[in-house]
Amino acid sequence: MNVPAEELAAVGEAARQVIREAKAAGVYAFAGGIHTAVAPLMVEADSTVRQATYPQTREFDGGFCVLRLPSREVAVRWAARIAQACRCAQELREFGDDPES
């Protein structure tokens, strides 16, 4: 996301509008961002705790939005709406269904 500071408020409002539309459509699950002031921790299988992160997430920036959608095609359309509002690319992932959860 490379938006001039004077446009951040407009980008935030555009993103919140898409979230409002997702809520109105009944597909919104939750959304949030990573609290950058709190350092990540790695908790190992032996319960060892250390301040670290996965190498591929060293520069994580932004947040996430989880929607319950009927198909990947619909998910792509919602991701495009979010990308347009945020003025940056969005990574689309799919949760695997776990019948035990």
In tens digits, the chain (101 residues) has pLDDT values of 788 999 999 999 999 999 999 999 999 999 988 888 888 899 999 999 999 888 877 676 678 899 999 999 999 999 999 999 999 999 999 988 888 88
Q: What pTM was computed for the model? A: 0.80
Alpha-carbon distance of 11 to 87, in angstroms, equals: 7
Alpha helices in 26-89 (DSSP H): 72-86
Alpha-carbon distance of 60 to 73, in angstroms, equals: 26
Q: Retrieve residue 51's tokens.
A: 């301040």
Alpha-carbon distance of 3 to 61, in angstroms, equals: 13
Cα distance between the two ends of the chain: 34
